[in-house]
Amino acid sequence: MQHRFTATSFLLLGGLLVWMADFVFVYVFVAVACAKGFAGASLLGLPVVTLVTLLASTLAGLITVLIVRRGYRLHRAAQMDEYSRFIGFVTFACGALALVALLLLVMPLLVTSACPQR
């Protein structure tokens, strides 16, 4: 089976790229919220920073689960060659690592405030 370099690279690193995008978005949003002073606002009973972080990380988690699922299917496919199955395994492993990283990204905002007190 032929694999195009760009598509295969994005598949292999897809979970980590989604985590990186979520990481950058969350930390830039928190920095802007603290700098502009709206981090203390609440929406739907939650602080706005916590709510936006949970929504963004949930979306990133769903996308990563789809990537992990794709990698698992490639890895378990018996009719695929070893190279394709290895690509599936690495996709699955990187996606699982990205899911753990997403969880670790959300945890601090659930137990602490977003902005330091002056």
3 state SS of 42: strand
Domain-embedded: residue 38: yes
User: With contact defined as beta carbons under 8 Å apart, do 78 and 33 qualify?
Assistant: no
Domain-embedded: residue 91: yes
Distance CA 100, CA 114 (A): 21
Domain-embedded: residue 28: yes
pLDDT score recorded for residue 118:
58
From the list 48, 39, 45, the residue with the least C-alpha distance to 115 is: 39
pLDDT score recorded for residue 98:
95
- Full domain range(s) for residue 22: 9-111
**Distance linking the first and last C-alpha atoms of the chain:** 60
Task: For the chain, give the percent of residues with pLDDT over 70.
Answer: 97
Domain-embedded: residue 116: no
Domain-embedded: residue 117: no
The number of distinct structural domains making up the chain is: 1
Domain-embedded: residue 92: yes
Domain-embedded: residue 58: yes
